């Protein structure tokens, strides 16, 4: 279970990872579904909160040459975030856009508890869907 937590945590940061496969593997190994859902959701949510934390301090470095976003890119992100707001974190589970959304939540100073709640809901829903699909499709392969 610790390995699932670590894979889920790392997958939620800006580093690449594949926690869904690891979750399905744990299910195939006979781990209790509720336990693996809780562990994966907690790990992935905490990993995303690291992104929120990084976002909170990112603006301190925006004048540096190595900063990954241009002033125009930050302005575009700010317009997008103002338009869709904190509810955009319900897409924090999505590939490619999920991690940057959590960083934006930090940049625009979304309160921690709201970020954690919205991210946790999104991540929990995704892992519930993965578990459902694992049970529906992988059951014959796990025998």
Q: How far apart are the first and last CA of the chain?
A: 20
pLDDT the model gives residue 14: 58
The C-alpha atoms of residue 48 and residue 9 are separated, in whole angstroms, by 8
75-86: pLDDT as tens digits: 887 787 788 888
**pLDDT of residue 143 exceeding 70:** no
Contact 99, 13 (CB under 8 A): yes
What pTM does this model have? 0.84
Mean pLDDT score of the chain, rounded to an integer?
86
Distance, CA of 90 to CA of 92 (rounded, Å): 5
The model's pLDDT over 23-65, given as tens digits with 9 standing for 90+, comes to 888 998 999 999 999 999 999 999 999 999 988 988 778 777 8
Q: How many CA atoms lie within 13 A of 57 on its CB side?
A: 5
Could you tell me the sign of the dihedral formed by the alpha carbons of 101, 104, 106, 112, in that order?
negative
- Based on C-alpha coordinates, what's the Rg of the chain? 17
Please state which of the ranges 12-21, 35-44, 45-54, 124-133 shows the lowest mean pLDDT: 12-21
> Is residue 114 very low, low, confident or very high in pLDDT (cuts 50, 70, 90)?
very high
């Amino acid at each position: 279970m610790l390995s699932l937590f670590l894979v889920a945590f790392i997958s939620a940061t800006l580093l690449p990872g594949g926690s869904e496969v690891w979750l399905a593997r744990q299910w195939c190994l006979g781990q209790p579904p509720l336990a693996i859902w809780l562990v994966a959701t907690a790990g992935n949510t905490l990993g995303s909160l690291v992104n929120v934390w990084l976002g909170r301090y990112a603006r301190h470095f925006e004048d540096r040459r190595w900063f990954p976003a241009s002033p125009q890119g930050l302005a575009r992100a700010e317009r997008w975030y103002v338009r869709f707001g904190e509810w955009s974190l319900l897409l924090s589970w999505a590939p490619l856009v999920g991690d940057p959304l959590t960083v934006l939540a930090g940049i625009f100073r979304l309160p921690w508890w709201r970020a954690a709640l919205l991210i946790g809901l999104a991540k929990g829903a995704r892992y519930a869907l993965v578990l459902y699909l694992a049970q529906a499709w992988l059951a014959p392969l796990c025998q």
